Chain A
Amino acid sequence: MTTLSRRSLLLATGASLLAAGTLAIGEERAAAPKGTIQQAAPLPATSIYHLSVPLTDQSGKTFQLAERRGAPMIVSMFYTSCQYVCPMLMESIQATEQKLSATERARLKVTLVSFDPEHDTVQVLRKTAEAHSFDGARWALARTDAASVRKLAAMLGIQYRAIGNGDFNHTTALILLDADGQVVGKTSELGRADAEFVRALKRVLS
């Protein structure tokens, strides 16, 4: 088999993923992998809440990402010293929230996890949350350990790399989870509300 056909194989694998993901929705698994969260009601097999992500938020509260289960949530990743994208990321979420009714907005949670646990201490996260006037009851700016950052990014399909001068290269995406932690929307549009993402939000909040 040539290089080309190896690559084709890989693409085929990628395509079959989509089909597999669809088939798996609604399935339930008896056992969850080590280090994962056990809830009273079994998680859907496609829930990202199977992944253990120990978080500490801007108020110093520690919790598992899976404890956010129960309400739709926007999740994304950022780092505080980022000058270009991350402020736009926060503005995009706020712009998106403005498209919702007060009732819808009240149901929505937001969790932003830092790529940079070394510098993004609780104190730094708190300052950022205050600077943006985030509603602490719904918004969590959170840090976790380096290994969990890598796993969460892999789960969310976000790429990032430390580039040695305190900065990170990273792709940006807002991920919309339903109440059980299944991905039901995604956008990389920045600076304004993505109309399709807003529609997905309204569906999941209705």
Chain B
Amino acid sequence: MSSTTRHTILGAVLLACAHLAWSATYIELPGGTFPSVLGNDASAGQATVPPYRLRATPVTKGEFGAFLASHPQWQREHAARVFVDADYLADQALPATRPDSGADRPITQVSWFAAQAFCEAEDARLPTWFEWEFAAAADATRADARGDAAWRARILGWYSRPASRALPAVGANANYYGISDLHGVIWEWVDDFNALLVNADSRSANDPDKLKFCGAGAIDLQQRDNYAILMRVALLSSLKGTNSTSSLGFRCVRPTTRGSTP
């Protein structure tokens, strides 16, 4: 075997490995109609989510590093300021290639536009709020554990832990569907973060501010004892698409494969 051939084979193997390293696991979720924290007058608080495939884990530093290598226009030095803010990837030490560099930790400090671009490169998109909320209603054994005050208290506990602590590796605490890290690790972008028009004061529900909100009033929050989820809504609705913070990451969604011919 010539050295050129050797090199070619080695290159092919490396490419295959790189590809495998970035072939994320997506899990089929059934979807359905469920009570959402986002109520509105048309749906009486019920949201309907068609079947979808959700990424089992948040996108990691390693995965995002691989994306940056193939999409240099999204590297911190190159990304146009109209898509990212000054904190974009500021402390992420990418590409994360060394084993001790946290390649299996969730990527954070990414803008919504960069997260969308990553998902598109993975033939996916960001989940809608309802898709995220549907998956996050589950605990380890129940599809919807939200009625359990003890479980609500447990996920709420995360918000009082220090944000300065290093993020753990992804993949822990898989829920009923096999989806990990929906609670307790990071905040996550959703596709429609700029759709969570929340009416902070429910007393104005019968007096919609028609000059601001076209067609109907703002959303009213339901399940007011579900603080952990409500805080997500509050945070997401406060963001701009260019924002990035050290506790804000993302995962992606693909269309269902159910009913499609192989």
Residue on B nearest A164 in the bound complex, by CB: B42
Contact flag A85-B210 (CB < 8 Å), given A3-B160, A6-B163, A169-B197: yes
> Is A30 close to B, CB under 8 A?
yes
Instruction: Encode A7-38 as 1/0 by CB contact (under 8 A) with B.
Output: 00110011011011101100101111111100
- The CA of A9 and the CA of B246, in the complex, are separated in Å by 10
Q: Please, could you name 13 A-B residue pairs with CB atoms under 8 Å apart, sorted by A? A: A2-B160, A3-B160, A10-B238, A17-B86, A21-B81, A24-B81, A33-B113, A34-B120, A150-B191, A154-B241, A161-B197, A170-B213, A172-B212
Q: How many residues of B contact A (CB 8 A)?
A: 58
- The CA of A84 and the CA of B218, in the complex, are separated in Å by 14
Q: Is the CB of B80 within 8 A of A32?
A: yes
Contact flag A171-B212 (CB < 8 Å), given A159-B197, A161-B197: yes
Give min CB distance, A174 to chain B, whole Å.
14
> Is A131 close to B, CB under 8 A?
no
From B20-28, B67-75, B131-139, the one touching the partner chain is B67-75
- The CA of A6 and the CA of B212, in the complex, are separated in Å by 29
Q: Is the CB of A165 within 8 A of B42?
A: yes
Give min CB distance, A166 to chain B, whole Å.
9
Q: How many residues of A contact B (CB 8 A)?
A: 61
Q: Is the CB of A1 within 8 A of B163?
A: yes
Residue on A nearest B164 in the bound complex, by CB: A1
> Is A82 close to B, CB under 8 A?
yes
Not counting A16-B87, A27-B81, a sample of 17 additional A-B residue pairs whose C-beta atoms are within 8 angstroms of each other reads A1-B163, A3-B231, A5-B163, A6-B163, A17-B85, A17-B243, A21-B81, A31-B72, A35-B120, A46-B80, A85-B210, A151-B113, A151-B116, A154-B240, A164-B42, A167-B215, A168-B214
Partner of A157, one of B85, B162, B210, B240: B240
Instruction: Encode B226-246 as 1/0 by CB contact (under 8 A) with A.
Output: 000001000101101111111
Partner of A34, one of B73, B164, B192, B241: B73
- The CA of A29 and the CA of B74, in the complex, are separated in Å by 11
Collect the chain B residues with CB atoms within 8 Å of residue A170's CB.
Answer: 197, 213-215
Instruction: Encode B4-46 as 1/0 by CB contact (under 8 A) with A.
Output: 0000000000000000000000000000000000001111000
Give min CB distance, B7 to chain A, whole Å.
29
Partner of A169, one of B164, B213, B246: B213
Contact flag A161-B192 (CB < 8 Å), given A16-B86, A20-B81: yes
Give min CB distance, A23 to chain B, whole Å.
8
> Is B194 close to A, CB under 8 A?
yes
Collect the chain A residues with CB atoms within 8 Å of residue B194's CB.
Answer: 150, 153-154, 157-160
Contact flag A34-B117 (CB < 8 Å), given A3-B159, A10-B238, A27-B81: yes
Query: 9 closest A-B pairs (Cβ-Cβ)?
Result: A167-B215, A154-B241, A20-B86, A24-B81, A161-B195, A85-B214, A164-B42, A45-B81, A31-B73
